[in-house]
Amino acid sequence: MANENAKTEAPETTERKTRSKSWIGIVVLMAVEGAAIFFGTKFLMGPTGPAVAEAGKSQGGYGEAAHGEQAPGTQEFAEVEVTECRPVNRVSGKLITFRMRVSVLVRSSDAERAKALVEGNKARINDRINLVIRSADPSHLNEPALETIKRRLKSEFELVLGDEKLIQEVLIPEMLPSGPGL
């Protein structure tokens, strides 16, 4: 009987050792894979930190300039916030409400005049934004950069403000749709 017990215990012990070796192998393999991914990504992404920020500034990128100077991308233009509104669109058959913020890019020398014109014509500007969004085709509302909407808003703003050279670009930093089925 003692021999029979020894024989039955031996295969179980061997099986346990094989299982534990398998688990150890899997854990080691996953650790090596994780390290390879980490170092491979570090290698492919290149250097980070202050050197990258300085490189971006020297190539005309946006960022904080040294010694209190303006960043190269913001020296000649200023942003003027136009409005925050909630226009609707029903062209697709569904009622879609948008939460929008609209700003314009103007020359720095014209920034104060643009702010005054925007404040003086706030209701007309909101009306024009609502008109553009209400009449917009759904494909225009789904464009990644909203080129058509921006172009139409720029032409409407030029009519309202009475100066075709004042606005350089229309900026839409926020345009969030909401409604049934979205």
CA–CA separation, 24 and 14 (whole Å): 15
**pLDDT value of residue 172:** 93
> What's the burial of 83, exposed, middle or buried (CB within 10 Å: 0-12/13-18/19+)?
middle
What's the predicted TM-score (pTM) here?
0.57
pLDDT (mean) for 24-50: 80
Residue 63, pLDDT > 50, answer no
> What's the burial of 130, exposed, middle or buried (CB within 10 Å: 0-12/13-18/19+)?
middle
Q: Which residue has the higher pLDDT, 112 or 69?
A: 112
Q: Which residue has the higher pLDDT, 118 or 54?
A: 118
DSSP element (H, E) containing 106: strand 96-107
**Contact of 167 with 105, CB cutoff 8 Å:** yes
Mean pLDDT comparison of 44-48, 49-53, 75-79, 154-158, highest-scoring range: 154-158
Structure tokens at 118: 């925007």
* Closest residue by Cα to residue 107 from 171, 62, 169: 169
* Helical spans, DSSP H, in 46-89: 50-58
pLDDT tens digit sequence for 131-165: 999 999 988 988 889 999 999 999 999 999 888 88
**Contact of 96 with 182, CB cutoff 8 Å:** yes
Could you give the C-alpha distances from 5 to 1, 13, 16, 176, in angstroms and in order?
Answer: 6, 12, 17, 73
pLDDT tens digit sequence for 76-105: 899 999 999 999 998 878 888 999 999 999
Mean pLDDT taken over the chain: 79
Could you give the C-alpha distances from 136 to 131, 151, 152, in angstroms and in order?
Answer: 8, 12, 10
CA–CA separation, 176 and 57 (whole Å): 32
Find all residues with CB under 8 Å of 56, minimum gap 6, and list them: 62, 63
